[in-house]
A = this chain, B = another copy of it.
Amino acid sequence: MSEDLNHLRQRLAEFADARDWQPYHTPKNLASALSVEASELLEIFQWLTPEESARVMESPESARRVEDEVADVLAYLLQFCEVLGVDPLKALTAKIERNERRFPTP
């Protein structure tokens, strides 16, 4: 059973507060960290063929790496949103609605 997004965002904020990490958590630094973690996720796939990339969860070792990097990307995305007061679900809902108008189905 997974927790919901807002609860995770709050746990991450408390985690950083308890360790006095706020001075490091400028929006610029968090955007850098998010980008670095997204690249670490990409690194898993960089030499794979499209077919090999679709089987990446079959190996427990690479499945674990994928889950670990997904967690890091989401963690920095939530911390970035927290410091700037952005609601990521609201931003995505608005984007999907714009895209449904921009790319109508045939």
A residues lining the B interface (CB < 8 Å): 2-5, 8, 11-12, 15, 18-19, 24, 26-29, 31-50, 53-54, 56-57, 66-68, 70-75, 77-78, 80-81, 83-96, 99-100, 103, 105
Q: Taking chain A's interface residues, is the majority helix, strand, or loop, or is none over half, making it mixed?
A: helix
Q: What is the bound-complex CA distance between A49 and B25, given in angstroms? A: 11
- Closest 3 pairs between A and B when the two form their complex, measured CB to CB: A39-B39, A2-B89, A71-B95
Smallest CB-CB separation from A78: which chain B residue?
A: B92
Extra A-B contacts (6), CB below 8 Å, given A38-B39, A67-B86, A73-B77? A29-B50, A31-B53, A32-B45, A35-B42, A41-B80, A68-B95
**Given A31-B44, A71-B88, A96-B38 contact (CB < 8 Å):** no
Inter-subunit contact B96/A15 (CB<8 Å): yes
Query: Which residues on the B side are within 8 Å of A67 (C-beta)?
Result: 86, 91, 94
Interface CB pairs A-B, < 8 A, 28: A4-B4, A5-B89, A11-B96, A12-B96, A15-B96, A19-B105, A27-B45, A28-B48, A29-B50, A31-B53, A32-B32, A32-B42, A34-B38, A34-B42, A35-B35, A36-B42, A36-B43, A36-B46, A38-B73, A50-B50, A57-B84, A57-B85, A70-B86, A71-B94, A73-B73, A73-B77, A74-B91, A75-B96
